[in-house]
Amino acid sequence: MRLPVAELHLHLEGTLEPEFIMDAAARNGVVLPWRSLEELRSKYRFTDLQSFLDLLYVNLEVLHTRDDFEQMTRSYLRRAAAAGVRHAEASTDIQAHTRRGIPIEVVVDGVRAALDTSEDDYGITTKLIISFLRDRSPDEAVDVLTRLLASGARFDGIGLDSAEVGFPPSLFVGLYDLARANGLHVVAHAGEEGPPQYVADSLDLLQVERIDHGNRSLEDAHLVARLVAEQIPLTVCPLSNVRLRVVDDLEQHPIRRMLAHGLNVSVHSDDPAYFGGYIDDNIDAIVDRCGVTNDELARLARNSIDASFLDAEGKARLHSEVDVWSEAHSPAR
Ligand code: ADE
Ligand code: ZN
């Protein structure tokens, strides 16, 4: 039995495997800069966040039809089920599609078609987060959110991602005010490459409920104390952190230190097709390379459940699954 977890930091466009990308390009008549699967595979070496985003945004241009978005989401859910994911709060970078002329409905209807049957099809409950690109204009983000709200599309929250440094949370106060006024949940990437102040500003100015990443919070003892006191969830992505050089190598990853501080951290896969694995691969990596114990794994799983937007009943159901896992993995056995 795999550790039962909630996956809360997952970009659907980051689940496009190279084969899917090449097939969709052929199907949709998209000419990619890469001529073969081998050439595409050779591009998966990153020096920082931007070098990864450059590849991600080219590859996602193969997505054109409602069926493409449905198949992308189904492929993720199928793989996530095998990885132990019992609840997923997946995000889509909608502006990466609207800016190239793909209608909002094509994206949302396709993703929803997979999410709406995912409990029956894959045993995974889901929520949908619409992420906004911080390196595009705040006015565009407000316009897209306004159109989404008017369209009747069903989604549960908003996020903020893409290039971080130089695009502080203060730019997006209006977007987050609009989201909260409409009863949406709010999360944001912060402290991946950006400074600790971006984490504090995401809490104070955007009033986010979770921080995606948050690694650089560790540089500020006052901020750490606040995150612990308020039990703000940090959705940490170890394999992503290594591939994007947020940490030097897995052995140096601060996940155990974060737990020891009492931070509400949990482990997620970010863009699994780009960073060497899904949530099970992230978990195996921190066990093998950081020495994370079974007790710590259970803590990480429980944190992921508590940080989710599930109701009390949904959380209790998943906690009882972690109880079963813990019992089977207790030292006495
Ligand atoms: N978009 C997809 N993955 C991301 C990440 N790790 N940071 C910022 N933007 C992203
Ligand atoms: Zn991310």
**pTM score, two decimals?**
0.98
Take atom 8 of ligand 1 and give the residue whose Cα is closest.
162
Domain range summary for the chain, segments of one domain joined by +: 5-326
φ, ψ at 256 (rounded to 5°): -70, -35
Q: Is 189 in the pocket of ligand 1 (CB under 6 A)?
A: yes
pLDDT at 330: 85
Q: Which two tokens stand for residue 74?
A: 């189904």
| Amino acid letter for position 320 | S
pLDDT score for 333 = 53
Ligand 1 close to Cβ of residue 9 (< 6 A) = no
In terms of CATH, what superfamily is 5-326? Metal-dependent hydrolases (3.20.20.140)
Which DSSP letter does residue 17 get? -
Euclidean distance between CA atoms 218 and 237, whole angstroms: 15
Q: Which residues are annotated as a binding site?
A: 9, 11, 189, 270-271
Burial of 63 (0-12, 13-18, 19+ CB in 10 A): buried
- Asked if 3 and 283 count as a contact pair (C-beta separation under 8 A), the reply is yes
* Contacts of 192 by beta carbon, 8 Å cutoff, 6+ apart: 49, 164, 212, 213, 214, 215, 216, 244, 246
Question: Token digits for 100?
Answer: 């190239």
| Active-site residue, 192 included | yes
Alpha carbon of 41 to ligand 2 centroid (Å): 21
**Given the residues 13, 89, 192, 193, the one annotated as active site:** 192
CA-nearest of 305, 245, 279 to 125 is: 305
Q: Output the CA–CA distances (angstroms, integers) from residue 189 to 1, 24, 205, in the order listed.
A: 31, 29, 14
Q: What is the mean pLDDT of each run of 10 residues along the chain (333 residues)?
A: 97 98 98 97 98 98 98 98 98 98 98 98 98 98 98 97 98 99 98 98 98 98 98 98 98 98 98 98 98 98 98 98 96 64
Ligand 1 lined by 192 (C-beta under 6 Å): yes
For residue 93, the ligand 1 atom closest to its alpha carbon is: 1
State in Å: Cα 162 to ligand 1 middle: 5
User: How many Å lie between the centroid of ligand 2 and the Cα of residue 329?
Assistant: 30
- Check residue 331 and give its pLDDT: 75
